[in-house]
Amino acid sequence: TQLLEQSPQFLSIQEGENLTVYCNSSSVFSSLQWYRQEPGEGPVLLVTVVTGGEVKKLKRLTFQFGDARKDSSLHITAAQPGDTGLYLCAGGGGSNYKLTFGKGTLLTVNP
Partner 1 sequence: GAVVSQHPSWVICKSGTSVKIECRSLDFQATTMFWYRQFPKQSLMLMATSNEGSKATYEQGVEKDKFLINHASLTLSTLTVTSAHPEDSSFYICSASPAAGKTADTQYFGPGTRLTVL
Residues that bind partner 1 in the complex, under the rule CB under 8 A:
30-31, 33, 35, 40-45, 48, 50, 86, 88, 90, 92-93, 96-99, 101-104, 106
CB of 33 to partner 1, least distance (A): 6
The contacts of residue 50 (CB under 8 Å, 6+ apart) are 30, 31, 32, 65
In single-letter form, the type of residue at position 14 comes to: Q
Which of 19/86 has CB closer to partner 1? 86
CB of 48 to partner 1, least distance (A): 5
Cis peptide before 8 (omega within 30 of 0): yes
Which of 79/88 has CB closer to partner 1? 88
Which of 58/78 has CB closer to partner 1? 58
Q: Are strands 44-49 and 55-58 parallel, antiparallel or unpaired?
A: unpaired
Which of 12/77 has CB closer to partner 1? 12
CB of 3 to partner 1, least distance (A): 12
Give dist(CA 16, CA 9) in Å, integer: 20
CB of 111 to partner 1, least distance (A): 21
The contacts of residue 99 (CB under 8 Å, 6+ apart) are 33, 90, 91, 92
